[in-house]
Chain A
Amino acid sequence: MVPTSYYVLLSAALFTIGAMGMLVRRNAIVLFMSVELMLNAANLALVAFARQQVNPDGQVLVFFVITVAAAEVAVGLALLVAIFRSKRTTDVDEVSTLRG
């Protein structure tokens, strides 16, 4: 069987790519995709540790994370559509009305 540390390293790499996406990109939809990528990386680590402990509780937690992520994406994309309706853009740098 593949050692748990391999999965954790892959998870760390995916999380880093997601974090870099958050910092580098400015299209709000791609930012959401980066958040999803980071959530997936965390899920992968949780499932790997669940196998390490031979305990299904980690998998149950991942199930909850996936559910909450689905709710988050639905609300986030609805917000994005509402912002697009008033600003005609999805670039996060353009949405700076509240900036001091």
Chain B
Amino acid sequence: MEFVIFFITAAIALIGAIAMLVSRNAVHSALFLLLNFSAIAILFLLLRAPFLFAVQLIVYAGAIMVLFLFVVMLLGAERAEDEKDKVAWQRPLAIGLGAALLVEAIFVGFNQLAMEPPTTPEVESFGAPARIGESLFTTYLLPFQITGIILLVAIIGVVVLNQRNRAKA
């Protein structure tokens, strides 16, 4: 049963990612990316990470995608880009190198990662939100505080970047 759910979700994630890559309209790209994020959230749930499932849906599918859609519509950037690249050989080279990277990753994956999932009963509860929270506020307290500062810096940076230069004018 879990295999069936995994393969369906993985297929949705891959389709979402590829459709994001090939769709000409930036709004469609954003919506396909939303599909991909939701599929990854379900995979988190399958991996016994309910806390990250919620965080993925709230932060990625909620906040970040709204930000993307808002900027796409604000800038009117949803129109298709020109077909012609300035560097003519860039696209075929990119596709070739991307395919090489994929083949390499799959090769390494099949050769070295023959991992069986753990069978201990503890695997069902190790990712409980309570344990993550305890870890965040004890072992990882300093990184947790630093992420708070990073978010503060991001807020200040966004405000400064989008200020009109009243002083100069």
User: Chain B residues near A20 (CB, 8 Å)?
Assistant: 21, 94-95, 98
User: Chain A residues near B13 (CB, 8 Å)?
Assistant: 10, 14
How close is B120's CB to chain A, nearest CB, in angstroms? 6
State whether A30 touches B75 (Cβ < 8 A).
no
User: Chain A residues near B29 (CB, 8 Å)?
Assistant: 29-30, 33
State whether B150 touches A68 (Cβ < 8 A).
yes
How close is A55's CB to chain B, nearest CB, in angstroms? 7
State whether A93 touches B86 (Cβ < 8 A).
yes
In the complex, A24→B72 CA distance in Å? 19
State whether A16 touches B98 (Cβ < 8 A).
yes
In the complex, A55→B60 CA distance in Å? 24
State whether A64 touches B47 (Cβ < 8 A).
no
In the complex, A17→B32 CA distance in Å? 13
Question: 1/0 contact trace for A45-62 toward B, CB 8 Å?
Answer: 001101111111101101
Query: Which label, helix, strand, loop or mixed, suits the secondary structure of the B interface?
Result: helix
> Do A23 and B115 form a contact, CB below 8 Å, given A29-B71, A71-B153?
no
How many A-B contacts are there with CB distance less than 8 Å? 232
State whether A4 touches B64 (Cβ < 8 A).
no
In the complex, A77→B51 CA distance in Å? 27
Tally of contact residues, A, Cβ under 8 A: 70
In the complex, A21→B77 CA distance in Å? 17
Q: Contact partner of A24 among B21, B44, B47, B60, CB < 8 A? A: B21
State whether B136 touches A63 (Cβ < 8 A).
yes
In the complex, A46→B97 CA distance in Å? 25
Question: 1/0 contact trace for A84-95 toward B, CB 8 Å?
Answer: 100000110100
User: Chain B residues near A81 (CB, 8 Å)?
Assistant: 71, 74-75, 161-162
- A64-B144, A77-B67 known; 9 new pairs, CB 8 Å cut-off, are A1-B123, A16-B102, A27-B77, A29-B77, A54-B122, A63-B52, A69-B64, A82-B161, A93-B85
